[in-house]
Chains A and B, each alone.
Chain A
């Protein structure tokens, strides 16, 4: 598919553990972005990684991008209850300006 596809679809971990979510895609991209969504409403932009970058950090977030494998991962370290949300990857394709979203990973942090 042209969109990003997240894996796993759902993830439950204990508070304090690290959470890793993966995203795979099939087209040439300009950049890849990760978003968080709480309660099924507006999305919050977390981090953007460009196609010529391999890794980026922002606070407890670490994103990697492997363009040869067409995959990205989002790592949340030392998870907190407030991290419970759905996480989406979105790809910005090279051939047009669309940003296409995957179906998301539902992350649940257990107390």
Chain B
């Protein structure tokens, strides 16, 4: 597609439920990042995919968070047993390569856990 697409744009879920957030990067981009941004804060790194390499999961805040990237394209971020502190905007970004390139961001998914 022309840009990075994220869905849903907004998600309200009950505490304890699982959610899946989707990111569809720009076709051909090998690098894909997930970030989380709480209200008025900077971006917190979550996970990074680069081509066929093992993902860098060092930013995932707990084992309730997981992500996968199928076929080097679409990525899904899953949060199990959601907690209120998981409420944030989840942003996905992709880049042609992981080296020396600016990143194109999606519009994010605003997750609210009630």
Give A residues with C-beta under 8 Å from B.
Answer: 3, 30-31, 33, 35, 40-45, 47-48, 50, 88, 90, 92, 96-104
Give B residues with C-beta under 8 Å from A.
Answer: 4, 31, 33, 35, 37, 39, 41-43, 45, 48, 50, 56, 59, 89, 91, 93, 98-108
Q: Which residues of B contact A35 (CB under 8 A)?
A: 105
> Binding site of A, secondary structure by majority: helix, strand, loop or mixed?
strand
Contact of A102 among B42, B91, B93, B103 (CB under 8 A): B42
Chain B residue, CB-CB nearest to A30: B100
B39:A48 contact, CB within 8 angstroms: no
Chain B residue, CB-CB nearest to A97: B98
Q: Which residues of A contact B4 (CB under 8 A)?
A: 42
A42 to B3, CA, bound (A): 11
B43:A44 contact, CB within 8 angstroms: no
A98 and B102 in contact, given A40-B39, A88-B42 (Cβ under 8 angstroms): no
B104:A45 contact, CB within 8 angstroms: yes
A31 to B100, CA, bound (A): 7
